[in-house]
Amino acid sequence: KAKGKTTRSMRQNALFVQPVAPNMPEKPPTKQQEKSVDDTEKSSSHQEQASSEVMNSETEHDEDVAGGDDEEVASLPRRRKKRYAVSVRWEREYEEERTRGRRKKICTGTSEDFHTCCCCCSRRVGSMFFLLEKRDGSPIIVAGPCWPFCTFVTVPLILGCSGLVSYYVVLNKDSGLPSWFGFIYFPFLAMALVSLFCVSCRDPGLLERVTDEEAGNGGWFWNEQVGSFRPPGAMYCRECKVLIQDYDHLCPWTGTGIGRGNMWAFKWFVISINILCYFSIALVAYFLLSGL
DSSP the chain: -HHHHHHHHHHHHHHHSPPPPP-PPPPPPPHHHHHHHHHHHHHHHHHHHHHHHHHHHHHHHHHHHHHHHHHHHHHHHHPPPP-B-B-HHHHHHHHHHHHHTPPPPS--SSTHHHHHHHSTTSEEETTEEEEEE-TTS-EEEEE-TTHHHIIIIIHHHHHHHHHHHIIIIIS-GGG---GGGHHHHHHHHHHHHHHHHHHHTS---B-B----HHHHHTT-EEETTTTEEE-TT-EEETTTTEEETT--EEETTTTEEE-TTTHHHHHHHHHHHHHHHHHHHHHHHHHHHHH-
Q: What would the pLDDT profile of 21-78 be if each residue is shown by its tens digit? A: 444 444 455 545 554 545 555 555 555 555 555 455 555 545 444 444 444 434 444 5
CB 227 within 8 A of CB 218: no
Cβ–Cβ under 8 Å, residues 227 and 210 = no
Name the average pLDDT for the chain.
Answer: 77
The DSSP code for 18 is: P
CB neighbours (10 Å) of residue 211?
12
Residue 124's pLDDT band (boundaries 50, 70, 90)?
Answer: confident
Q: What is the pTM of this model?
A: 0.67
For the chain, report the end-to-end CA distance as a whole number of angstroms: 174
Q: What is the pLDDT of residues 255-277, one digit of tens each?
A: 999 999 999 999 999 999 999 99
CB atoms within 10 A of CB 259: 27
* Rounded Cα gap, residues 175 and 285, in angstroms: 11
| DSSP of 120-153 | TTSEEETTEEEEEE-TTS-EEEEE-TTHHHIIII
pLDDT classification of 218: cutoffs 50, 70, 90: confident
How many other C-beta atoms are found inside a 10 Å radius of the C-beta of residue 27? 6
DSSP reduced 3-state for 46: helix
**pLDDT confidence of residue 75:** 46
Say if residues 286 and 292 touch (Cβ distance below 8 Å): no
Residue 106 has pLDDT above 90, yes or no: no
Mean pLDDT of 127-149: 89
